[in-house]
Amino acid sequence: MIRERGLKVVMVLVGLLFSAGIYPLTMILWQRNQSQYGDAMMLSLYFTLGIFLLMAIRNPSANRSLIAFTAWSSFAHGVVMAVPGFQIPSERRELFVAVACWLPSV
């Protein structure tokens, strides 16, 4: 019971965090900033994932694959962003900050 309640709390926090990506996504598209369209694509995926996580809170055991996908994809995204952090000194700080923001959602 305590474990399921903890899982639901984490799902709410991560779902809200991912869903909050709608604001920067909207701003990128509104300003038609083509240099950030890659970021907009990622934000649209995370926004959608956040909405589905929030819907999955009702019955986490029936949505185990969604929860596992969220955790593993966040971990993979963090690892992929960490690699250029070691290779590109000028971008190191920004990439490691981004990794630090995404990995807690695992």
pLDDT in tens, 40-73: 888 888 899 999 999 999 999 999 999 999 888 8
Other CB atoms closer than 10 Å to residue 81's CB: what's the count?
Answer: 20
pLDDT of residue 53: 94
User: What's the pTM value of the predicted model, to 2 decimals?
Assistant: 0.76
3-state secondary structure of 8: helix
